[in-house]
Amino acid sequence: MQDSAVIEASLIEPESFAELFERHAAVLHRYVVRRLGPDQAEDVVAETFTRAFEKRHKYALDRQDALPWLYGITTNIIGTHRRAEIRGYRALARTGEDPVAVAFDERVVARVSASETRRPLAAALAKLGKGERDVLLLISWGDLTYEETAQALNVPIGTVRSRLSRARRKIAHALGGSNPTNVIEEA
């Protein structure tokens, strides 16, 4: 059953909405962990699904996959934790230690990259504008397409492209690259 059918069914039988949680909560949770850290991730996911449930009457049922819609709600909630998110990037940039990965990865053999790019990259993420960071991370961490990102943020696809282009230029500059042709657009 497609997500849209689940949402439609939940209009009559609200408990059907739990299926959407089972399908997407874990993916959203990991995304939030990467942006904010584990301490706030569960609350953000809970708030995402509570808001989604309240707003499900407005869902465009012709969109079969609800994940972009849920990412959009999550992104709005992450926006209210912007300072905490930026603090995390700055801590990584300053110390090279990532409190997010360490806190959430007790069971994982964390083969953390020793790459020298992590610190300038984190510093660059901290400096991006909110809209640029949202687009960049929805595409690179959320695995959304340009179109899905546009749906998630409720902006035109052209805005997604321009924000991503600006974000990548800034990232490339922070990493020491100045040749704009190195920034290859990915579909």
Partner 1 sequence: MNDLDMVRDLRSEVRQSETNDLHRARRRMLTAVASEPPVRPVRRMVLRVATMGALGVTIMTGVTVVQSLGTDDRERGITSAPAWLSVANAETLATHATAAAAGQTDIYPRADQWVYVKRDYYTSPKLMPEVVVPPIGGGKTGSRYTAEMWTRGDGKERARRNEGGKTIKRRQGGEDPRLRFDPAYLRSLPLEPSALLERLKKDTSVIPLPEARAVSRQILSILQEGVPAARLRAALYTVLSQLDDVGVEKVRDLLGRQGVAIYTHDDEGIRQEVIIDPNTFVLLGARHIYVGGAKSPSPYSELPEGEVIISVAQVSVGIVDDAGDVP
* Residue 30 binds partner 1 (CB under 8 A): yes
Question: Which one of 74-82, 103-111, 155-163 is the stretch in contact with partner 1 (CB under 8 A)?
Answer: 103-111
* Residue 111 binds partner 1 (CB under 8 A): yes
* Residue 91 binds partner 1 (CB under 8 A): no
* Residue 96 binds partner 1 (CB under 8 A): no
Question: Which one of 69-77, 78-86, 152-160, 177-185 is the stretch in contact with partner 1 (CB under 8 A)?
Answer: 177-185
Residue with tokens 């990584």: 92
Q: Residue 126 burial by CB count (10 A; 0-12/13-18/19+): exposed, middle or buried?
A: middle
Question: Which one of 26-34, 72-80, 151-159 is the stretch in contact with partner 1 (CB under 8 A)?
Answer: 26-34
Report, in Å, the least distance between residue 153 CB and partner 1. Answer: 17
Among 63, 90, 91, 105, binds partner 1 (CB under 8 A): 105
DSSP 8-state code for residue 186: -
Among 57, 83, 109, 179, binds partner 1 (CB under 8 A): 109
Output the six-digit token pair for 157.
């696809």
Output the six-digit token pair for 100.
């997010």
The amino acid at 140: S
Which is nearest to 149 in space by CA: 139, 164, 159, 163?
A: 139
Q: Residue 84 burial by CB count (10 A; 0-12/13-18/19+): exposed, middle or buried?
A: middle
What is each CA distance from 154 to 24, 125, 162, in whole angstroms? Answer: 20, 22, 15
* Residue 24 binds partner 1 (CB under 8 A): yes
* Residue 19 binds partner 1 (CB under 8 A): yes
What is each CA distance from 60 to 49, 55, 88, 129, 140, in whole angstroms? Answer: 16, 11, 35, 29, 25
Chain positions contacting partner 1, by CB under 8 A: 2-3, 11-15, 17-19, 21-27, 29-30, 33-34, 38, 41-43, 45-46, 49-50, 53-54, 65, 98, 100-101, 104-105, 107-113, 115, 117-118, 121-122, 125, 136-137, 139-141, 143, 168, 171-172, 175, 177, 182-184, 186
